[in-house]
């Protein structure tokens, strides 16, 4: 029968199905513009999932300062265009988003949410452990004065990575020095500016900088290179995220692999399972992270 159906060129009309079932068979991934640099790599995976599960996937940028973002979100929900959302950071921290979704009881899965105690399903990387490992690795290379670049306050990873860093220092009895901690917002410009500041500390100049994100690490590398210093000879730099460019820059970046595509993929799968009312083993998933050692880190210079 199936073959006969195919032979006639028949295909169901998706709009009619959607209307009859009052479902859109579409999920939305809410993204903060610029947060995911490697969206294109992500797209393939996401779309595969959509294909397998017969769900369409819509990527929606959410940028709070634009009222347009909010309007769009509202219309997606009101007009029944979307069955559920994957919320990427820092959108979960946005009050408009969170109240809207809970008010209308729209199914959602969050990625790396600020608040892990709520009942909302999530997928998260183990930022604490990753930062701890990286810091221990640096300490093992002989670094004691380590600069750290903090991220935005509306992302949980910002805190966890700082805590992991600090815990590793503590466990090796290395003093935690406030002047070495800088607020970079995890942008290129922030990493650049804060690294310049750290390098002007004179006697207190760090021998390594743990940029909290790869993006900030690029800024740090740029600043260091501009000053004509050698990486890793005079100073080591490392990041966190392992985005695809990190192996293409010189020197290639030591970082923590935090598979953004995998997070989104798992979140999308989880959401679809929820929408299909399939039984789920677990609705809170923690993904371990691991170090990727490349060329931007080395032994601390012997003063």
Partner DNA sequence: CTGTTAGCGCCTTCAT
Partner DNA sequence: ATGAAGGCGCTAACAG
Which residues are near its own copies by CB under 8 A? 9, 11-16, 18-19, 22, 24, 31, 33-44, 47-48, 51, 56-61, 63, 68, 71-72, 75, 78-81, 188, 218-219, 221-222, 225-226, 245, 248-252
Q: In sequence order, what are the residues at sequence separation of 6 or more whose Cβ sits closer than 8 angstroms to the Cβ of residue 186?
A: 149, 151, 152, 158, 212, 213, 215, 216
CA distances from 176 to 42, 88, 163, 220, 241 (A): 37, 31, 11, 21, 24
Closest to DNA by CB, 4 vs 16, is: 16
Residue 1 C-beta: closest distance to its own copies, Å: 18
Binds DNA (CB under 7 A): choice among 1, 4, 7, 20: 20
Residue 261 C-beta: closest distance to its own copies, Å: 11
Per-residue binding letters, 44-73, with DNA (x by CB under 7 A): ------------------------------
Sheet containing 284-287: order of strands:
56-61, 26-31, 84-87, 108-111, 122-125, 284-287
Binds DNA (CB under 7 A): choice among 13, 40, 277, 302: 13
Using the rule CB under 7 A, is 22 a contact of DNA? yes
Using the rule CB under 7 A, is 8 a contact of DNA? no
Residue 266 C-beta: closest distance to its own copies, Å: 19
Residue 136 C-beta: closest distance to its own copies, Å: 28
Residue 71 C-beta: closest distance to DNA, Å: 18
The token duo for 229 is 């210093």
| Long-range pairs, 271-276, Cβ under 8 A, ≥24 | 271/27, 271/84, 271/85, 271/86, 271/107, 271/108, 271/109, 271/121, 272/27, 272/49, 272/53, 272/55, 272/84, 274/84, 274/107, 274/109, 274/121, 275/27, 275/55, 275/83, 275/84, 275/107, 276/53
Q: How far apart are CA 254 and CA 138, in angstroms?
A: 11
Using the rule CB under 7 A, is 17 a contact of DNA? yes
Using the rule CB under 7 A, is 247 a contact of DNA? no
Q: Which residues pair with 284 in a beta bridge?
A: 122
Using the rule CB under 7 A, is 21 a contact of DNA? yes
Q: How far apart are CA 262 and CA 267, in angstroms?
A: 8
What is the phi-psi region of residue 110: left when phi exceeds 0, alpha when psi lies from -120 to 50, beta otherwise? beta
The region of 5-13, 65-73, 120-128, 278-286 touching DNA under the rule CB under 7 A is: 5-13
Closest to DNA by CB, 20 vs 303, is: 20
Using the rule CB under 7 A, is 12 a contact of DNA? yes
Per-residue binding letters, 135-164, with DNA (x by CB under 7 A): ------------------------------
Binds DNA (CB under 7 A): choice among 4, 7, 16, 303: 16
Which residue ranges make up the site for DNA (CB under 7 A)?
A: 11-13, 16-17, 19-22
């Amino acid at each position: 029968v199936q073959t006969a159906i195919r032979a006639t060129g028949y295909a169901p009309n998706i709009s009619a199905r959607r209307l009859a079932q009052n479902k859109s068979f579409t999920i939305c991934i809410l993204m903060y513009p610029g947060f995911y640099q490697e969206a294109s790599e992500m797209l393939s995976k996401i779309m595969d999932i959509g294909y397998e599960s017969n769900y369409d996937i819509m990527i929606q940028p959410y940028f709070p300062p634009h009222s347009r973002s909010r309007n769009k979100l509202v219309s997606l929900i009101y007009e029944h265009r979307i069955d559920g959302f994957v919320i990427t950071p820092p959108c979960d921290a946005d009050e408009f988003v969170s109240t809207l979704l809970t008010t209308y009881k729209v199914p959602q899965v969050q990625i790396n949410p600020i608040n892990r105690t709520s009942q909302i399903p999530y997928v998260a990387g183990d930022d604490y452990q990753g930062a701890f490992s990286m810091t221990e690795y640096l300490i093992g290379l002989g670094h004691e004065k380590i600069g750290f670049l903090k991220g935005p306050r509306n992302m949980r990873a910002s805190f966890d990575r700082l805590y992991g860093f600090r815990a590793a220092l503590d466990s090796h009895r290395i003093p935690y020095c406030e002047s070495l901690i800088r607020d970079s917002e995890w942008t290129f410009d922030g990493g650049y500016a804060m690294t310049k500041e750290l390098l002007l500390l004179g006697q207190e100049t760090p021998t390594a900088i743990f940029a909290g994100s790869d993006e900030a690490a690029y800024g740090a590398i740029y600043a260091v290179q501009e000053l004509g210093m050698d990486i890793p000879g005079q100073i080591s730099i490392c990041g966190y995220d392992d985005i695809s460019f990190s192996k293409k820059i010189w020197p290639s970046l030591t970082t923590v692999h935090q598979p953004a595509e995998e997070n989104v993929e798992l979140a999308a799968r989880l959401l679809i399972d929820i929408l299909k009312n399939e039984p789920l083993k677990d609705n809170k998933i923690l993904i371990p992270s691991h170090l990727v050692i490349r060329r931007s880190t080395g032994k601390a210079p012997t003063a």
